[in-house]
Chain A
């Protein structure tokens, strides 16, 4: 990703002058702007590809047609102006209006132009109306159905990713300190378990903690009926969060720890670390300033890749735990064959991935001195 282009540009950069245009803040801003711009282009192409794949069977066309037909029919049937018309006349009027509307939107245009219209709709989250599914508030707008589910998904992904990141970095650091210990060997032995996806561990956790021990719920977001006061509600959500979060964490933590521990070990044999140790710096300082600091950019890049693969895992984990997020909505849409919701979810997922990558890029810029000092934003 950005890591390599940065390395290339940073090394060839001249020594920066101390002026505002070259100040750390300006560089950071420029870097962020460039990343934002590239990410916007990437998302556009990604959404366009999604639409192309979806419309190979004409599904997006159908979504658009349905929406027009629904809108026109409802408008005419509800309007007092046309109340006096006979049934046939109304039908004829509806057909005429539909044709006019389709022409206005551009459904009669060749696919190349149509696809651009769809792209605009997709990018502005104008995702059409669901065939069967409704949001909790009874709306059939795909955008509302999906956005309503977003908080639950973000809660699950946010919690697990934070845990995963800080958990693996600190455990990896402490393992690199106690290299060769019993716990270190155990982590190495356990790292192949990350081959299995989160939902797989989810099954075992449900079996152990919900079915046999009966101490944690099988799934869902809150107890039913949901508690009235916010504190109990939060507590109940927390209780339901444990198993899905744990299965995601268990499925990837051992591999991350193993990778990062190896990475720290390689770095801790660098000369400057040896010098720092020889100077008699406390090992905490050595770790923080001489090992963690220079490796952090690479760790963040690795983490970004991990998070991207995790998004796939969340979809099914949510399904297994009946966690009311985007994933289970997508699962239900498959079951109901609700095409607009499936296409809409794909677009939302593309957005979420892009935002994740962008955020991590931003963090990367914050921790990578080359962005602040070198010519990081000049690509």
Chain B
């Protein structure tokens, strides 16, 4: 307990260690939050979901906070629905089973560019007679534009800019520009203010009902933006945290402890066991680590847990076995080991109770410093297209962005968001590892 307190006090002297610990705690918090709010199966469902899950989002939208840093304000996507009360809905019975449903949606538009698209989704209930809707657009300066009159089926989608009749009526195929344009302005700038969308539906049956959902696809969306498949990038960024941490920590722990146990066994038994371990280490050195992982990923399975196992197996006989061996050789000659041997302690008891505990202080810095390497390894595999097929991870996002040429197209946010998270994770662990190394390695302390 005292050593722990001393270590913590030593750590507090290094600002980089404090920073590292803070980053690690934030990441752990985010990881717990992600796992609690989004269950594993839900995360997989959302990530693998197509249009039916993500239809509300625009493609390639940058994060909404971009507006805070830019003079021209880009439209932010939003949705409103009669189901949750976003769109007011009033039913006025007209007699003879006919009723008229008035749906009004008022929204403030204060952006410097027209949106990408306006879409209305109708969900209706009826037996035989199709309901009828008419949509009217009212601009802030009081002009009214008749958008469409149409009958709607059980599920109908109406995309404003793809309606040829509306294009003809507005005398342009730039429907969005025309709907939002300020008529007094020379250049096509959007008019800011309150827009109204009036939907009047007529139903011809008693039990008939109609619900509408209005979606505005802007150029910006949410905290993290969206990708090519309209997916909210916040999901993989949030959910990638526990996955990255789990992979990094498990691989680091597994590798460090197994390596140490093997080194201890080798030095304790000596002779051919030691020799064999030395030879395996040399062979492992020329085994192309990544190429073998790639082979496993292509031939067998891309599951992240299989990759984790293979990574640990391939890293056990790494260079650190030499360092441990050198220390164990010294410890082996220590008096207390001699004493244990005289009173008849078994080999395993000596290895696990006397040799390995002496190594823990040396192990901790190595362990912490090796975490970033494994976190980045997971990302590297994903960049090569060998990421876990179902899980949302940071590396997957970078891979998607790269295959889509995000850097060429100037969609920097898509690459930078996961990259910055990876960097913070890497730096956090690396900085703490460095500080720990200086504390536990007295030789480095003054240098």
Contacts and interface: CB of A to CB of B under 8 A. Distances in A.
B22 to A, nearest CB: 14
A265 B289 contact: no
Interface in B317-341: 319, 322, 326
B288 A200 contact: no
Contacts of A352: 288
Interface in B392-426: 398, 402, 407-408, 410, 412, 415-416, 419, 422-423, 426
B440 to A, nearest CB: 15
Given A203-B407, A334-B298, A350-B288, A316 B419 contact: no
A35 to B, nearest CB: 11
B429 interface: yes
Interface stretch (B173-181, B207-215, B239-247, B278-286): B278-286
Contact of A211 (B326, B407, B426): B407
A153 interface: no
Residues of A in contact with B, size category? 35 or more
B299 interface: yes
Interface stretch (A114-122, A274-282, A336-344): A336-344
B288 A192 contact: no
Given A203-B407, A331-B384, A192 B286 contact: no
B287 interface: yes
Nearest to B291: A346
Contacts of A345: 291
Interface string B365-388: 000010011001001100111100
A320 interface: yes
A154 interface: no
A312 B290 contact: yes
Interface in A316-357: 316, 319-320, 330-331, 334-335, 337, 339, 342-343, 345-346, 349-350, 352-354, 357
A290 interface: no
A16 B222 CA distance: 76
A266 interface: yes
Contacts of A42: 282-283, 285-286
B296 interface: yes
B419 A204 contact: yes
B447 A266 contact: yes
A376 interface: no
A195 B430 contact: yes
Contacts of B290: 311-312, 315-316
A204 B398 CA distance: 12
B300 A357 contact: no
A147 to B, nearest CB: 16
Nearest to B296: A53
Nearest to B310: A53
Given A195-B376, A200-B419, A353 B286 contact: yes
A210 to B, nearest CB: 8
B443 interface: yes
Given A316-B380, A346-B292, A191 B298 contact: no
B273 interface: no
B389 to A, nearest CB: 13
A50 interface: yes
B422 A196 contact: yes
Nearest to A349: B288
B287 A334 contact: no
Contacts of A199: 380, 383
Interface stretch (A54-62, A76-84, A363-371): A54-62
A279 to B, nearest CB: 25
Interface string B285-320: 111111110111111100000000000000000010
Given A207-B415, A316-B290, 16 more contacts: A42-B286, A53-B292, A54-B299, A56-B300, A57-B299, A57-B300, A191-B434, A192-B426, A195-B373, A195-B426, A211-B410, A312-B380, A320-B402, A334-B298, A342-B298, A342-B299
